[in-house]
Structures are given as C-alpha cells and as structure tokens.
Amino acid sequence: MSDDIVVGDGFAVGSLDALGEGPGMRKIRTSLGVKEMGVNAIVLPPGIEQGTHWHDRQEELYFVHEGEIEMEFADGVIQTLPAGGLARVDAATPRTIRNRGSVDATYVIVGAEGGYVGRDGQQPPNTPRVRQIDG
C-alpha cells in the first residue's frame, strides 16, 4: 500500500505509515475524515507508560497491531495483550497502558458513544456475500 492518503467519493484509504513516523499518536480519524467515531493509533516504545486516563462518554476498543501492551485497570487487574489482542473498556474505567516489551507496540483505539446501530449492510440483489476470486 502506498504511503499516501487517498480520498474518493465516499471513502478514504491510507496506512499508519502515511500518518507519521516514530513514537506517538497517529490521528486516523482526522486523516481519513471519520465522522461517527474516534479512532487513533499509538506507537509506544519499549519501557514507556502512558498516564492513567478515562472518558466521560466514550467506550473504547483497543486492538494491538504489533508488539505487546500491558493494560492496568483501576481495580488492580493487569492484562497483557499481544499482537492481535483486543480489549473493550467502559468510558469511566481508569486504565494505564505500558509497553514492557523489547520492541515498539502499535495499537489502534476506537471510541464511540450512542450504541450499536445493528447490521445495516446492503448488497446488490442476487449476488453472493462471499465468493472465491483466485485459484
């Protein structure tokens, strides 16, 4: 994939590499024009801890893209999330995130409020939902 953000009629496509380099936050929402949820990625170097935080309204979903993070919650529970790991955290639940590994950890956070809208996907009539395209 190119390191450019491509914006078309009703869509935007990009990569984390196009949003910055080195440690820190990647503003996915603003870069891709996301309107219905907050979404960012963070690259957290080894040995770094983010300060404890919580939210007033938005539930968050964390997805670890690469590396590994440790999440500590207000009740003292600590969970380690490897690449591919997921965590859902209520808005008011304090959480602290740290990288105890030896490589950068990259994780994506999606936050929203207002509830699930249900399955509202559409497709053209008489077309299969899934089909084999190669070999």
Residue with tokens 């994506």: 108
The answer to which of 53-57, 71-75, 95-99, 115-119 has the lowest mean pLDDT is 115-119
Per-residue confidence band for 2, with pLDDT thresholds at 50, 70 and 90: low
Residue 76 covered by a domain: yes
- Enter the DSSP assignment of 19: G
CATH number of the domain residue 33 falls in? 2.60.120.10
Domain interval for residue 105: 14-112
Residue 132 covered by a domain: no
The average pLDDT across 60-86 equals 98
Query: What single-letter amino acid sits at 6?
Result: V
Residue with tokens 């399955």: 119
Radius of gyration over every alpha carbon of the chain, rounded to an integer in angstroms: 17
Residue 94 covered by a domain: yes
| Residue 129: per-residue pLDDT | 83
Query: What single-letter amino acid sits at 84?
Result: G
The average pLDDT across 7-24 equals 94
Instruction: For residue 41, give both structure tokens.
Output: 């990625």
Residue 7 covered by a domain: no
Nearest to 106 by CA among 21, 35, 32, 38: 21
Percent of the chain with pLDDT over 90: 81
Give the pTM.
0.90
Residue 134 covered by a domain: no
The average pLDDT across 28-36 equals 95
Residue 123 covered by a domain: no
Residue 80 covered by a domain: yes
Residue 133 covered by a domain: no
| Residue 119: per-residue pLDDT | 83
Say how many domains are in the chain: 1
